[in-house]
Amino acid sequence: MASFDVLGDGTITSVPGIWAAGVHCGIKQSDALDLALIYSEVDAAAAATFTRNKVFSPTITVNRENLKSPTHRVIVDNSGNANTCTGERGLQDARRMAAWAAEAMGVKAEQVFVCSTGVIGRFLPMDCVARGIRQAAEMILRNPQSTIHNPIEGGHLAARAIMTTDTFPKEVAVQTEVGGKTVTVGGIAKGAGMIAPNMGTMHAFVATDCAIAKPVLKSMLRDSVQRSFNSITVDGDTSTSDTVIVLANGLAGNRPIENDGRSYNQFKVALDYVTQELAKMIARDGEGASHFITVVVKGAMTEEEAHRCGLTIANSPLVKTAVFGRDPNWGRIAAAAGRAGVRLRAEKMNVWLGEVQVMKNGGAAEFDFQRAQAVFDQKDITLTVDLGIGKARWTVWTCDFTYDYVKINAEYTT
Residue numbers at the binding site for its own copies (CB under 8 A):
52-56, 82, 84-87, 90, 119-122, 193-194, 196, 198, 235-240, 315-318, 321-322, 324-325, 327-332, 334-339, 344, 346-347, 349, 359, 361-364, 401-403, 405-407, 409-414
Write down the least CB distance from residue 237 to its own copies, Å: 5
Cα(400)–Cα(321) distance, integer angstroms: 6
- Give whichever of 377 and 411 is closer to its own copies, judged by the CB atom: 411
The dihedral sign for the CA sequence 128, 130, 132, 135: negative
Among residues 204, 181, 194, the alpha carbon closest in space to that of 49 is found at 204
Cα–Cα distance, 140 to 106 (Å, whole number): 12
Q: Which is nearer to its own copies, 278 or 319 (CB)?
A: 319
**Do residues 37 and 162 lie in contact, with contact meaning Cβ atoms separated by under 8 Å?**
no
Q: What whole-number distance in Å separates Cα of residue 161 and Cα of residue 371? A: 43
**Type of residue numbered 198:** N
Which residues, at least 6 apart from 358, have a Cβ–Cβ distance to it below 8 Å? 328, 330, 351, 352, 364, 365, 367, 372
Nearer of residues 11 and 201 to its own copies, judged by Cβ: 201
CA distance 51 to 115: 12
**Which residues are known catalytic residues?**
201
Cβ closest to its own copies, residue 292 vs residue 401: 401
* Greatest Cα-to-Cα distance within the chain, rounded to the nearest angstrom: 68
Q: Least distance from C-beta 391 to its own copies, angstroms?
A: 19
Q: In 3-state terms, what secondary structure has residue 363?
A: strand
- When the beta carbons of 22 and 236 are compared against its own copies, the nearer one is 236
Q: How far is the CB of 320 from its own copies (least distance, A)?
A: 9
Would you say 259 or 413 has its CB closer to its own copies?
A: 413
Provide, rounded to whole angstroms, the least separation between the CB of residue 322 and its own copies: 7
Question: How many residues make up the chain in this entry?
Answer: 414
Query: Least Å distance between CB 232 and its own copies?
Result: 15
Residue 77: CB minimum distance to its own copies, A = 19
> Is the separation of the CB atoms in 232 and 189 below 8 Å?
no
Position 392, amino acid: A
Pairing label, strands 112-119, 170-178: unpaired
Roughly how many angstroms between the first and final C-alpha of the chain, as a whole number?
A: 50
Taking the C-alpha atoms of residue 351 and residue 117, their distance in angstroms, rounded to an integer, is 38
